[in-house]
Structure 1
């Protein structure tokens, strides 16, 4: 069996990602990661694990501090939209039994998985003719031995794999997690979004044929961690990636950009295809969007 090439991440706390890679021989990788077997590796000492909840709470606190009166409404849905005579939009938002009437000079559609379907629905774009996501599901497994890896370990991604390969990472608490795999969902789901117009979210988060999935995980992980004990591997959770392209596109699939940020309507900015790298890129994405809004408002458009 050919040994893979491995990408290693250090444990330095910070947001700098993939800077100044250090080439490593297979033996050098083994000195850093004794359980890893590989031909060669790249070490990125500045990578880190992000505390997702902590980051979101910090951003919420910053928004409320810098802009008093700001509110963050979770589990809320925009149910109607109309242009405001003075520019911008009037929106009706439902959160549970509460209804909010809002007016905004600018709207940023950062609705995640459902961002394209919300945009096409609110602007009456015919089904299938507007932007859309292709959903790619990925499962994760926890591992009961924290010493199996010391830092994030990534095999090189395949050209058409839809992801980075089943890699091993550590949580902020030090637990080991492997994943995700690649499981393309029905293309029709990507057109309609996870939440249909009736506001009911379907259950796309379950797992089927878990023993088969686990077997594939074990086979993939053992390519670079041959001493993996399958009995210590247990199912954890799944996630869904919002892709902007699909393998059915052929060569165009690998040429598609990762993120889309654009003003597709007057004073309406769409954010599509924001996968998990969008978390570590969130500050920069916010800066880009902020600059777009500032420029438009200064132009008086």
Structure 2
């Protein structure tokens, strides 16, 4: 309950609609959900069609004259001399460079084929899992940032009961790198659980982790708030990776929380860095875009 109160107070401070429900009301709405200490309701929380959303934004981008260059790994970036002029960005054929190069040193790879370059007045580094590597190509070594990769495995559920009508999140665990193995839905209404948190070394380690102990731990997490679940109907589904800047908490109200890093880098005019943008970066993307626009053109 102490952690729920922290979430409540923080949400109120940033004008997010949130309220506590009585045990009686919570039981009436979701009789299958176990909630001993209390229930905090966030009525504006939901799910979005992520692929449809991205396709729409991409279409808008191209309609306004934008060009998308896929399979063009960035191999080198040259800042404007004396802070004036254009940035220069080199790209290489996919086979000529390692797109996962995101170490603090971000060494420039040896190129096998001919590289190409473009110039730009501004650079917005929104490279997700590879953003630290891009940042480290530009900033001096003392400002390099080490990336951390929090892999999360999701689990499917093949039965129709129990099936709450709303998303269910366990109370936050201080310092935990995720939001707990929560219950959510896909766009078809299918129940899924997850993600858990597993720290991995590579941003390409995307196979669901078939580890017996981790699977048992996830089952126990789920049973803590949905005791009537049939464990035999839970199975591995898919996995994703959250780009993080440390092994820190994922809830803003908790100590040790690492927020998104959104900065116009000092000494590098026209360079905006977006690092550690994990979930809910997708649903916050328009708000982030407004902030970046403000940094570049209105301050």
What TM-score, normalized by structure 2, do the two folds share? 0.78
- Aligned-partner SS, 1:222: helix
Q: Which moved more, 1:238-247 or 1:150-159?
A: 238-247
Q: Which moved more, 1:129-138 or 1:275-284?
A: 129-138
Once the 2 structures are TM-superposed, how far is the Cα of residue 75 of structure 1 from its aligned partner?
3.5
Task: Encode CA deviations 1:16-41: one digit per residue, 9 max, x unaligned.
Answer: x9832231122322222221011221
Unpaired segments ≥5 residues, structure 2: 6-13, 96-113
CA contact (8 A) 2:261 2:273 kept: yes
In structure 2, distance between residues paired with 1:5 and 1:129: 36
- Aligned-partner SS, 2:255: helix
- Structure with bigger strand share is 1
In structure 2, distance between residues paired with 1:25 and 1:256: 29
1:21–1:144 CA distance, 2 compared to 1 (3 A)? same
Residue 80 of structure 1: aligned partner:
76
Residue 61 of structure 1: aligned partner:
59
In structure 2, distance between residues paired with 1:280 and 1:59: 12
CA contact (8 A) 1:18 1:46 kept: no
Once the 2 structures are TM-superposed, how far is the Cα of residue 209 of structure 1 from its aligned partner?
4.3
- Aligned-partner SS, 1:36: coil
CA contact (8 A) 2:152 2:240 kept: yes
The alignment covers a number of residue pairs equal to 262
Residue 260 of structure 2: aligned partner:
259
CA contact (8 A) 2:4 2:171 kept: yes
Once the 2 structures are TM-superposed, how far is the Cα of residue 63 of structure 1 from its aligned partner?
1.2
Superposed CA RMSD in Å reads 2.8
In structure 2, distance between residues paired with 1:46 and 1:129: 38
What TM-score, normalized by structure 1, do the two folds share? 0.78
1:111–1:49 CA distance, 2 compared to 1 (3 A)? same
Unpaired segments ≥5 residues, structure 1: 7-16, 195-202, 297-301
- Aligned-partner SS, 1:157: coil
Q: Which of 98, 102, 108 lines up with 2:124 in the alignment? A: 108
In structure 1, distance between residues paired with 2:69 and 2:15: 33
Task: Encode CA deviations 1:51-98: one digit per residue, 9 max, x unaligned.
Answer: 110111111111122x22x11233431112223566231212246479
1:19–1:84 CA distance, 2 compared to 1 (3 A)? closer
Once the 2 structures are TM-superposed, how far is the Cα of residue 99 of structure 1 from its aligned partner?
5.6
